[in-house]
Amino acid sequence: MVQRERVALQKGMNFRVRGGVAGYSIILMSVRPNAPYQDRWHNSGSHAGLLEYEGHDVPRLRGSSVDPKSVDQLLALPSGKPTDNGKFFQAASDYRAGRSPPEVVQVYEKVSDGIWCDRGRYELVDATMTSVPVERSTTATTMSRRVCRFFLRPTTTPSATTQDGQRELASSRQIPTWVKVEVWKRDQGRCVECQSKDNLHFDHDVPFSKGGSSITPENVRLLCARHNLVKSNKIV
């Protein structure tokens, strides 16, 4: 599903924003060129199938000349209160140590300015602190800082009780970002059936359940919720 950016989606990391038994966290990510953070999908290697999400920088203080990209990402504030980085990091540590189940995280991916795509639910399974280089343009010297890296695996939502619903969130069905961008431009951000701009979905022309591909724009189109439900998994 594609949705317009809302105030609730302004912050990149939101730990345990929904409480209770079915509680979950939210992260906003992007793999677009020049994105402020280095997020990525792993298609191979030891992290194959996982989403790697970079933690968030300290906020820029008013009147300060310190670039947040030049200092370490913090797990805790001077007061000792954990940052969102710290909360996510502790949740990953608790899971690895067997103290708790994995934290459930709702992931939204930025497709275009003001447009976020619902990538479904993930489980936070690991976290590390990594040193990365920092270019200081004023001195032309290279330094380093420590940043958080979080690793998440795709899972199902509580409402995905059928096989089709589970496949909807499986990594094999995820439509690559570049395909979504091309389809959004081609269909001009409108349902191809009724031209509606509201509650849009990326739909497989040939359904995924019938062998349709997710990796080519030719088999993906924009449909509003009504026309998406009418079509279901039929080939039209």
What are the boundaries of each domain within the chain? 2-162, 179-231
Distance, in Å, from the CA atom of 5 to the CA atom of 3, rounded to the nearest integer, reads 6
Distance, in Å, from the CA atom of 57 to the CA atom of 66, rounded to the nearest integer, reads 12
For residue 153, report the phi and psi dihedrals to the nearest 5 degrees. Answer: -110, 145
Low-confidence ranges of the chain (pLDDT < 70): 1-11, 18-22, 113-114, 135-142, 156-174, 205-215, 231-236
Q: Which CATH class is domain 2-162?
A: mainly beta
Q: For the segment 135-161, what is each residue's pLDDT rounded down to a tens digit? A: 665 555 558 999 999 999 988 655 444
The pLDDT of residue 205: 63
The pLDDT of residue 228: 77
How far, rounded to the nearest angstrom, does the alpha carbon of residue 93 sit from its chain's CA centroid? 21
